[in-house]
């Protein structure tokens, strides 16, 4: 698979009900077409410190934040192509840098073992692993995605994610996609990814459907769900 290694763009997120999704897709007829890989089942392993330093910092909404994850586009075997990704956000702009390795070698690299690449991105990955001292698998997030691009301007991309599942056990992507649901039934998370200003036709469609941007991090929301679950379990034990 040929893949893009470096991204710089704006990413805006929207939570859509089933009705809003249907309305928007009707509004966008003739404006968008399926992307090069229109249907995918994405699974991510997020790496963090044992005390979740990366996501705790991210939720404080600093001007600069970063995440480290391992991504696959299907349930991986040892030799399945996997992507090691650093995702940074600074002043509202998202920067993503990634390298590819077979899944098992990628896991070994992130654990401090195995082959080390010599590209600039591999050096950035190594620096991030060393700078945080103890990054370990923290959470698996998986979801089903539909991807589209602008018919006249393919740099405009829209993705729709549903069936977003998270878990903090069995932290191996080869274990498959399962866990707790992050969204309500029928909901989809839409992301609009653009290099410049949003095109007028897209802004008008969102306005007609009364769809408004929201602050939404899958890892962040799942982490908050995890904390709520832990508090509930502590209360259950306390009053048992």
What angle is formed at CA 4 by the lines to CA 79 and CA 145, rounded to 5 degrees?
75
Q: What is the DSSP letter of 169?
A: S
Which own/partner contact pairs does 204-210 have at CB distance under 8 Å and 24+ positions apart?
A: 205/24, 205/27, 205/28, 205/31, 206/14, 206/24, 208/23, 208/27, 209/20, 209/23, 209/24, 209/27, 210/20
C-alpha count within 13 angstroms, C-beta hemisphere, residue 85: 22
Of the candidate CATH numbers 3.20.19.10, 3.40.50.300, 3.40.367.20, 3.20.100.30, the domain formed by 6-238 belongs to: 3.20.100.30
The per-residue pLDDT for 240 is: 61
Over residues 63-82, mean pLDDT: 96
pLDDT digits (tens, 9 = 90+) for 31-56: 999 999 999 999 999 999 999 999 99
Domain boundaries, given as residue ranges, for the chain = 6-238
What does pTM read for this prediction? 0.93
8 Å CB contact between 164 and 182: yes
The per-residue pLDDT for 92 is: 85
Distance (Å, rounded) from C-alpha 39 to C-alpha 171? 24
Distance (Å, rounded) from C-alpha 90 to C-alpha 70? 21
Over residues 116-143, mean pLDDT: 91
């Amino acid at each position: 698979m040929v893949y893009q290694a470096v991204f710089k763009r704006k990413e805006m997120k929207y939570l859509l009900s089933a009705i809003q999704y249907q309305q928007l897709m009707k509004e966008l007829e003739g404006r968008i077409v399926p992307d090069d890989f229109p249907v995918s089942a994405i699974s991510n392993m997020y790496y963090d410190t044992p005390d979740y330093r990366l996501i705790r910092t991210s939720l404080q909404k600093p001007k600069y934040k970063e995440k480290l994850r391992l991504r696959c586009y299907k349930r991986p075997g040892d030799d399945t192509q996997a992507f090691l990704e650093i995702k940074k956000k600074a002043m509202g702009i998202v920067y993503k840098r990634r390298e590819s390795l077979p899944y098992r070698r990628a896991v070994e690299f992130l654990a401090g073992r195995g082959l080390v690449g010599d590209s600039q991105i591999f050096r950035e990955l190594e620096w991030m692993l060393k700078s945080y001292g103890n990054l370990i698998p923290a959470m698996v997030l998986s979801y089903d995605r539909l991807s589209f691009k602008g018919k006249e301007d393919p740099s405009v991309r829209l993705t729709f994610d549903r069936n977003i599942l998270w878990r903090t056990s069995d932290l191996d992507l080869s274990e498959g996609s399962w866990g707790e649901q992050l969204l309500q039934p029928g909901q989809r998370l839409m992301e609009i990814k653009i290099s410049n200003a949003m095109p007028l036709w897209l802004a008008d469609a969102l306005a007609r459907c009364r769809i408004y941007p929201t602050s939404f991090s899958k890892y962040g929301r799942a982490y908050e769900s995890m904390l709520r679950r832990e508090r509930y379990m502590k209360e259950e034990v306390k009053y048992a």
